[in-house]
Amino acid sequence: MSDLVDRLRLQVRHCRGAGSPLTADVIEAAADDLEAGGVCAELLGPLADDPPGSVPALRFAGALHRLVLDRRAPALALHYPSVGGTTGDVRPVVLDTVREHLDVLHELVRRPVQTNEVGRSSALLGGLVRVQEQTRLPVRLLEVGASGGLNLLVDRFAHEVVDGVVLGDPASRVRLRHPWQGRHPEHVTPEVVERRGCDPGPLDPTSTEDRLTLTSYVWADQVERFERLRAALQLAAADPPLVERRPAIAFLSRELAEPRPGVVTVVWHSVVRQYVAPQERAQVDALLEEAGARATADAPLAHLWLEPERFGQGFRLQVGLTRWPGGRTAVLADCQGHGPPVVWRPSR
């Protein structure tokens, strides 16, 4: 149990550092109560042996936010800016809410974290621009762990990389302002001619239930993210991207079976690897290497990712790219967990 408490406290520090004091306070209340053997021990104790990558702390925060969005926790809602509340001393209300809704929370905290963070699209976009700089080919985009497929619509968002320069659709309601720092990639919107993804449990942007699930995992005091997700869901609902309910290895085995001439095939993912079993990760890596060995100048392959990497006692998120033919790997940028600011490294 002490290990679970430590994991919750680590997430508290991360939330504070990432600008979400409300989420930090919510999880800290749970950590303190768990350590004291209170009601959170009854709720979260069964999760003690879950893998660290499954992030029980965020499952707890998402479960409470879900109650707020469902209008089942009015006292807690008073502290949640996502529904018009004002942050304050939320900790006593957190414990009261857990006691009142313990049965439903037992079910909610067992659900996997489901995020489709639109802010990460700007980081991935820069990697896509780099790929097109190097190949001068249109993009065939494949996403692993695509969730609701929102980031497959990367070129339909407005990325205002500098004042007056917008990549993507300048008229889009999804707008990311000044997401890039450092030496920028070219100011050219990649041409995406095909897009599809896979997920073991894909979400439907046209479904009220699935939209609510995605929204519940946005930190409730980060209203800009909340509004950005809502706009992206509206955009996706009008023309839903194709996301198959299929394991990554089965999806990629089919999609990468033969090189596709005339396009650069880009396989990308963001904050997915921690949720995938080590054996499946190794299988995917091996499959990409095999497909890369078949790549040609006219049918290149790229693997683009945004994933956390260990750094000292913590971690930081990096944007990385491997290109074939050649199999050259480079770290392109560093960014925050939800995307901007994306700090580009000098190209080599």
**Which tokens hold the place of 205?**
């942007």
Beta carbons of 235 and 153 less than 8 angstroms apart: yes
Which DSSP state fits 69?
H
Give the model confidence (pLDDT) of 150-198 as tens digits: 999 999 999 999 999 999 999 999 999 999 998 888 889 999 999 999 9
Q: Return the amino acid letter for 343.
A: V
Asked if the model's pLDDT at residue 248 lies above 80, the reply is yes
User: Residue 346 — very low, low, confident or very high, per pLDDT cuts 50/70/90?
Assistant: confident
Give the model confidence (pLDDT) of 64-123 as tens digits: 999 999 999 999 999 999 999 998 899 999 999 999 999 999 999 999 998 899 999 999
Residue 200: CB atoms within 10 A of its CB come to 13
Give the model confidence (pLDDT) of 229-242 as tens digits: 999 999 999 999 99
Which DSSP state fits 239?
S
User: Residue 29 — very low, low, confident or very high, per pLDDT cuts 50/70/90?
Assistant: very high
Residue 108: CB atoms within 10 A of its CB come to 18
Beta carbons of 230 and 266 less than 8 angstroms apart: no
Alpha helices in the chain (DSSP H): 2-17, 21-35, 39-44, 56-69, 74-77, 91-100, 102-108, 120-135, 208-216, 223-238, 248-255, 278-294
Beta carbons of 117 and 271 less than 8 angstroms apart: yes
Residue 307: which of 340, 268, 345 has the closest Cα?
Answer: 268
